[in-house]
Structure 1
Amino acid sequence: MSDHEQEAALVRSALKGHSDDGGAIGAFVGTGEITEELFPALDSAAARLEDQGDHEEARKVAAVITYAMEARGRGPVPGWAT
Structure 2
Amino acid sequence: MLFFAPTAVNLLGFKVNSVDNSSVINVGPLQYIDQFVSYKRNQGFGEQNGDLSPSNIPLAVTIDPDISDSNSIKASAV
Relative contact order (C-alpha < 8 Å, sep 6+): which is higher? 1
TM over 0.5: no
Query: Which has the higher Rg, Structure 1 or Structure 2?
Result: 2
